[in-house]
Every structure is written in structure tokens, then in C-alpha cells.
Amino acid sequence: MPFQNTLSYARELDNNDPLKKYRDKFYFPQLNGKNVIYFTGNSLGLQPKNSQEFVDEVMEDWKNLGVEGHFHAKKPWWDYHERLAKPLAKIIGAKPEEVSVMNTLTVNLHLLMVSFYSPTKERYKIICEEKAFPSDQYMLQSQVRFHGFDPKDTIVEVSKRPGEHHWNTEDIVEKINETGDQLALVLLGGVNYYNGQVFDMKTITSAGKSVGANVGWDLAHAAGNIELKLHDWGCDFAAWCSYKYMNSGPGNASGIFIHERHLDQEKITRFEGWWGTKKETRFLMKQKFEPIATADAWQLSNPPVLALAPYLASLTLFEEVGMDALIAKRNKIVSYLEFILHEIDSEVDSSFEIITPAERGCQLSVLLHGEGRSLFDYLMANGVITDWREPNVIRLAPAPFYCSFEDMYNFGQILRTGILTGAGNRETR
């Protein structure tokens, strides 16, 4: 049945949505007493209502037990992080022992570079996408300088083709093969933050490994959004933040993946700390580091339990629903949003372009032709929480846990009114 741009049809889609009850499990910001239309789950996911009880439990145990909470809390703190490994492994396509949670995203990428970027005079180059997220750019540049190399000669950026808004997999593979024996590392974002493109991680990983390079992924916009099979694809490592599609709270802890072939190796290059040593001997305070035989060996310090509590709360919802169901809802709601955008574009004297390719997750990036930032301001003032990226792109990410089809319809009506009233042509406030 073809989509329809009507309120009754959108409500029919919601009534038939297997995940409709989960919308009520999240808190929405309010405008004039109504839920906003929330399109920024790719930046900060909404708060799950169950997160409060998970945090309160830690606070109660701290109040009542003090230091004994490490071993006698309802969920003992000393192994609290281990509870996240199994559900995360399902989300990213890994074995639980390949997963750990610690620090924040860029900190973890730096730590993983210690293990997986060991340049030599012959093999030292890094391949990434052009205009990668600034944190990745800064991280790579500083790592290269730390090793005594010049970023201009070392970091190889793969560009989009002229006039195109997305990358072609064959161009990335060609660049990998061209760099060949000089290539030490491939590190890209699994989903590009700007245009929402999902990279062919399986093919790119295979190409990188075929020339002897390590391959890692920044999954900030991928984890909890798209299907991942990191173990099966043979990726060496990956890291992701937890506060976007996984709804763990602002700036919360990062996850890491390290393929099992790199685990339980005492000689691997790695920065080490007390919490990465074996649990059985940790409190013997031995002088020699004895790594845990899992990705936990990369931990430096004891886990921030108050931060992990809302992360664990959110993961209980992922366990209930499963990635297959989330991806099915995601595909349908993003397709409906795309339909609404095309419908509005055909109705008004305006022009905008969806620059997200068919290989996508939750996000549609809309390039505004002839419209200014004031259209974004109009949307925000009328209860549409979205994201502006210079020079003239609006990012829309309808997260399947809590966005509704009625949201998509209502957004279209607000967008239509904003364009017809000239909101996009007013001076930016």
C-alpha cells in the first residue's frame, strides 16, 4: 500500500506499529504543554523513564553501604560494567568477551590507537574519509605527530566524487589498494555524521586486511542504529558513544570492541591500569600486570557506576525489543519521512535535496536550496527539535524507539507552513 500524506494514515501506521508502546517509555521535552517532534536522537537520545530507578538504586546502595557497595550492592559495583557486555555484544555483532565499557569515545580511540597504530618508516599511513568528524581528525593528527610523522604526508583522505554527496565504496577500496604496503590503519566512521551514509564496513574491512593494515571503526552514529557484525567482518577494533541512539545520557561512557584474536595477549602494545588486571589477583596488588582475557584488559580505572546505570537501563529496552525489530521500524519510519519531504517539496515553491544515499540508517540529511537558517529557527520555534549543519543542511533522525509516524506527518505540515510563510528567507535571528 503506497504511503499517504494524511493524519489518518499516519495514525493508522502508528496503531499497527509493534513498537508503539515504547514511545511512552521515554520523556519528551515540552513546548506549550505538548511533546516536541524530536529528530536529534543522532545527537542525544531521549531519557528512558526507567533510568531513574537504576540511578536511584546505586544512590541508595551508596547511602546505605558506603564502600561495601563494591561487593554487596544489589548490582555490585566492582563488576557493574560486565552487565553491559552481553546486550552490547548483540547490538554490535560481537562476542561478549570482545566488548567493554569505559571512558568516553575519543579517549577510547586514543587508547585503541596505542594498540593498533604502530607505524614504521615503511608502513605508516592512515586512511579516513574526508571531513571526518572533527574529534576523529584531531585524534588522528595528534597521534601521527606523536609518532614523529607529518599528518599531511600520513593521513590519506578519501574524497567524494565531484558533484556527489556520498562516498563510493570502490573509491575507498581503490585507495586502500593504492596505498598498499604503506598502509598501517584504516579508520572511518561507520555512519557519516553529516550525510547519514552507512559505509560498507564488511567490504572495506576485508580490503584493509588484505593489504596487511589494521581496520577500526568509529561507531558513534552506528551503534544502536544499524545492523553490525563486527566479529564476523573481522574488524580489529571499534569504539562508540552511548548517548545517541542508545539513550544513556549526555556525555556518557563509551563502548569498545576488540576482536578476539587480539585478546589474552600479554605482549600487545597497550596502556594499562589496575582495573585491566585479572579480577582474581587484582587486590593482591601485584607489581606485574596480568591482563584480563577479554576486552576489559583495556580498562584503566574502576567503572563510573553512576554513569553506567542509565546506560544499563536503556540496554534493558534493547534486550526487550531486539535490533531486528528496531531496524524494521527504522526503515519504515525513515521511508515515510522521505515520502513526506518529497510531498511537501512538490507542493511549495521551494527546493531541497535529500543528500543521504540509499545506504542509510535513521538519518536523512536535507540540503536546503534557496532557504536560510531561519527556516531551521522556525522549525525549532514550532516544536521541531532538529539539527543544523553549515552551510545549509538540516539533519532529521527519527529514532524508532520513540518517534511516531504522526510526528512525521505533523513535521511535514510545519515545514510546509514555514516555507509558504517565507520563514526560510528571513534574516537569521
Beta bridge partners of residue 34, listed in sequence order: 31
Task: Check residue 36 and give its pLDDT.
Answer: 98
Q: What is the mean pLDDT of residues 129-152?
A: 96
User: Which domains, ranges and CATH numbers included, belong to the chain?
Assistant: 7-35+322-425 (3.90.1150.10), 52-321 (3.40.640.10)
Return the C-alpha cell found at 351. 527546493
The answer on pLDDT for 423 being more than 80 is no
- For residue 63, the surrounding DSSP H or E stretch is helix 51-65
Cis amide linkage into residue 162, ω under 30° from 0: no
Its pTM stands at 0.95
Give me the helices (H) in 293-372, please. Answer: 305-321, 323-347
Cell 580490503 belongs to 207
| Residue 328 to residue 93: CA distance in whole angstroms | 17
Please state, rounded to an integer, the average pLDDT across all residues of the chain.
95
List 388's β-bridge partners, or say none: 394
**What is the DSSP annotation of 353-383?**
EE---SSBSS-EEEEEES--HHHHHHHHHTT
The per-residue pLDDT for range 85-107, each reduced to its tens digit, is: 999 999 999 999 999 999 999 99
Please tell me the predicted confidence (pLDDT) of residue 421. 86
State pLDDT tens for residues 387-401.
999 888 999 999 999
Question: What average pLDDT score do residues 61-90 get?
Answer: 97
Helix (H, G, I), strand (E, B) or coil at 108: helix
Residue 231 near residue 258, CB atoms below 8 Å? no
What is the share, in percent, of the chain residues with pLDDT greater than 90?
A: 92
Q: What is the mean pLDDT of residues 292-310?
A: 97
**Nearest Cα to Cα of residue 340 among 408, 405, 402, 398:** 408
CA dist 125 and 255 (Å) reads: 26
Give the span between the Cα atoms of 88 and 292, in whole angstroms. Answer: 19
